Amino acid sequence: MNHADPEGQVSSTHYRTAQEALEARSAAERELVLAGEIQASFLPRSLPEIPGWELAVTLQPARQTCGDFYDVIPLPNGRVGLVIADVADKGAAAALYMALSRTLVRTFTILYHARPDFALRAANHRIRSDTDSEQFVTLFLGVLDPATGTLTYANAGHNPPLCLRADAEGKAQPLLRTGIPLGMFEGKSWGRESVRLAAGDVLLLYTDGITEAQNEQAEMFGSERLLATARQHLSVSAADLQNALLDAVGGFVGETPQFDDIALMVLKQPL
């Protein structure tokens, strides 16, 4: 007569459970990688040429999916829409919210190409209508007229971009918030401001993954280091300035793992 081995049964069951858990984890990881690839496809495949201007953009996700995003939108009369944004969450949920926000902001920026404030109001209305999520997104939308150097913008609760003046040794002019983040409340409006960029001036648009990057002592990179590095490299190209900023952040954090997404956009009108 054969007798079952209780210990053998437990070991076998434990093995199957562990194996199933590993397979489920592998499947979930593959799905996250695929989600990240799909999400990356929403970003511009190439940057448009802006006559007389230099533009450099980078996005460094901390995970497979990303809550930060940027966009560069060709508009009528040679204008260009510049977007940088940060969803207030991480993971797959943030990736889905990013896809929705990016699509709506792009759509309404093209529709209201001279009024970024109208574009944000319309995008916010659709976001609130299409989702019950408690998430929100901070976002800066600027519309550049390359011929005049005028940037018309609306800032939905985002880190103020910095305009560094070439004729004032890099004096920084922050482009302050003109309203709350998108997706928080229905029926909100955003203010509209404008600034003129002269030859040699630099515009930095960034997410808090840069200023809040931490080293092993839990110190943050901060806005002062960001400004100091930018001022040291005002004379270089937009691409070289971007690389200098990223190198400075990398050197500061050292071996500390990246815990937040990083998005950085540098716009410059060369002398």
Residue 163 is part of which domain span?
Answer: 42-268
CA distance 262 to 69: 9
pTM comes to: 0.86
Candidates 54, 76, 228, 50; CA nearest to 147 is 50
Q: Is residue 114 part of a domain?
A: yes
Q: Is residue 33 part of a domain?
A: no
Count of domains for the chain:
1
Q: Where are the alpha helices (DSSP H) in the chain?
A: 6-40, 91-111, 116-130, 208-211, 222-232, 238-253
Q: Is residue 1 part of a domain?
A: no
Q: Is residue 261 part of a domain?
A: yes
Q: Residue 252: CB partners within 8 Å, gap ≥ 6?
A: 213, 215, 221, 225
Q: If DSSP codes are grouped into helix, strand and coil, which group holds residue 87?
A: strand
Answer whether residue 45 shows pLDDT above 80.
no
CATH of the domain at 251: 3.60.40.10
Q: Is residue 94 part of a domain?
A: yes
- The pLDDT tens digits of the residues spanning 179-222 come to 999 999 999 999 999 999 999 999 999 999 999 999 999 999 99
Q: What are phi and psi of 36, to 5 degrees?
A: -65, -40
Candidates 271, 229, 224, 222; CA nearest to 246 is 229
Q: How far apart are the first and last CA of the chain?
A: 93
Q: Is residue 19 part of a domain?
A: no
Q: Is residue 50 part of a domain?
A: yes
| Of 224 and 90, the one with more pLDDT | 224
- The pLDDT tens digits of the residues spanning 96-151 come to 888 899 999 999 999 999 999 999 999 999 999 988 888 999 999 999 999 999 99
Q: What is the mean pLDDT of the chain?
A: 88
Q: Is residue 9 part of a domain?
A: no
